[in-house]
Amino acid sequence: MRVLLAEDSLLLRAGVARLLQDEGFEVVGEAGDLDDLLRKVRAHKPDVAIVDIKMPPTHTDEGLKAALIIRSELPGTGVLVLSQYVEKEYAAELLAESAEGVGYLLKDRVADLERFIDAVRRVAEGGSVLDPEVVSRMLARRSTGPLDQLTPREREVLALMAEGRSNHSIATELVVTERAVEKHVTSIFGKLELPATAEGHRRVLAVLAYLNS
């Protein structure tokens, strides 16, 4: 699996590159600013780009801008955005058009190697990953509309879906059967009035409905 890293801190970039290589990834390029990132992504077309949200020249939202450009020009390339702080608006913008092959994690998650590597693989394979801290803050807000119809357990399931979890992973986390999770997911689809399309697509729509509530 081919990875490109974009991070202006040389020390952090080198550390993440070493972690990925130790786990069997091929790091095909490294970038320290927006222009360098876009140039190398276009040249190498990696499976996934891991991008710091704040890079030169302004250290504001260059990573987010780059992620949106990459998703537009190279839809086959996954993008995992890393942020120092929780920025719910950035996460929502990143997932606004499609949640397939995109992720948003806090930088602290890199220290949890197993979770970080799992997130990289999921995004590279077309899945979505949303940081649990972002999910919990969104869940804490009072919402109006279809989400009000969800039971507390269904909201828990939807929150874990937003993190990119499979039914098996959700069942393990909540200590319930996979069949019980399937029933909750079906109920969520019904209450959010999502179309009877492919399972993966409906999960994406459910997550987007959750984010936009």
User: Quick one: what percent of the chain has pLDDT higher than 90?
Assistant: 40
DSSP 155-192: HHHHHHHHTT--HHHHHHHHTS-HHHHHHHHHHHHHHT
- Taking only the tens place, the pLDDT of each residue in 149-170 is 889 999 889 888 877 788 898 9
Per-residue confidence (pLDDT) for residue 104, from 0 to 100: 87
pLDDT at 2 over 80: yes
pTM, 2 dp: 0.76
Q: Is 70 exceeded by the pLDDT of residue 69?
A: yes
Q: Could you give the domains of the chain?
A: 2-130 (3.40.50.2300), 142-211 (1.10.10.10)
In a 3-state reduction of DSSP, which class is residue 24?
coil
Query: Which pLDDT belongs to residue 198?
Result: 47
| 194 contacts: CB under 8 Å, gap ≥ 6 | 202, 205, 206, 209
Strand order across the beta sheet in which 102-106 lies: 26-31, 2-6, 48-52, 78-83, 102-106, 128-130
* Crossing angle of helices 167-174 and 152-162, rounded to 10°: 130
- Given a cut of 80, whether residue 70 has pLDDT beyond it is yes
Amino acid letter, 188: I
What is the pLDDT averaged over residues 81-90? 80
pLDDT tier for residue 16 given thresholds of 50, 70 and 90: very high
> What's the rounded Cα separation, in Å, for the pair 79 and 136?
22
Please, what is the Cα angle at 73 between 25 and 117, to 5 degrees? 25
Q: Minimum mean pLDDT among 10-24, 71-85, 150-164, 183-197: which range?
A: 183-197
In whole numbers, what is the pLDDT of the chain averaged over residues? 84
Q: What pLDDT is stored for residue 164 in this prediction?
A: 73
- Residue 94: pLDDT over 60: yes
φ, ψ (nearest 5 deg) of residue 49: -110, 130
